[in-house]
Amino acid sequence: GGVLAVSGANNGYLPAARRRWFADPRLAGGGALMDHTVHIADLLDDLFEASPATTVYAQVNNVLHEGQVDADTAGLITVEYANGAVATIDCSWSQPQHHPAWGGLQMQVIGDRATLEMDAFDQKVHGFSESSRAPFELPYGVNLDALMLHSFLYGSDGGTSVTDGESGLRSLRIVTAAYRSAAEGRAVPVR
């Protein structure tokens, strides 16, 4: 059926320790909103078959790592699409620095006949070992990063494809509108 709403979250850790430029808004073009919104926007662009975003409302802040970086460290965005769907995107650097997973990407897609849930980077069985007195993870499934990199380097083999330039531009327009919305304190059209 048709998609009515999407709730997405892309949360990672503050990248300043390994890639300082990522947390410098002048070099990276923004902060967590820039870093994490585009990935969900790319997925939605594919899901919605390039139906354009029409309106964006966003709030951003630096509460999570105040005083450590000048960039925004958290954001919440609402995007309205021409196909009538509404998406919310939680984008932040809220993952603890020493957590075993650098971040995650989850989406809940609510349709008129079904609801689908996805957690792209948690393809693991989680457990606890009494003998080692430590938690453990047993991964399963495919390495999505490896598939994406292979597709980028060698082209699509019919399975995995990467975002093309037009889709990337549509996602960048969403991010640009989100920063404009946060600065103006109101919903803005996507240009």
**pLDDT score at 155:** 76
Q: What is the pLDDT of residue 161?
A: 62
The alpha carbon dihedral of 104, 72, 75, 152 has a sign of negative
Establish if 113 belongs to a structural domain: yes
Does the residue 141 lie in any domain? no
Domain assignment present for residue 95? The answer is yes
Is residue 81 a part of any domain in this protein?
yes
Quote the pTM value.
0.84
The pLDDT of residue 54 is 98
Mean pLDDT per 10-residue interval, the chain, length 191 residues? 94 86 90 94 91 97 90 96 97 84 86 89 80 84 76 71 80 96 98 90
Contact by Cβ (8 Å): 86, 110:
no
Q: What is the CATH number of the domain that holds 30?
A: 3.30.360.10
Residue 125 lies in a domain: no
Residue 103: predicted pLDDT: 76
Q: Which domain holds residue 74?
A: 3-119+163-182
140 within domain boundaries: no
- Tokens coding 142: 């495919």
The answer to whether residue 190 is domain-embedded is: no
- How many structural domains comprise the chain? 1
For residue 102, being part of any structural domain is answered with yes
Closest CA to 145 of 39, 6, 46, 22: 39
Residue 177, helix vs strand vs coil: helix
Indicate the residue type of 23.
A
Pick the closest to residue 124 from 95, 101, 102, 108 (CA basis): 101
H or E segment at 132? none
C-alpha span between 131 and 14 (Å, rounded): 33
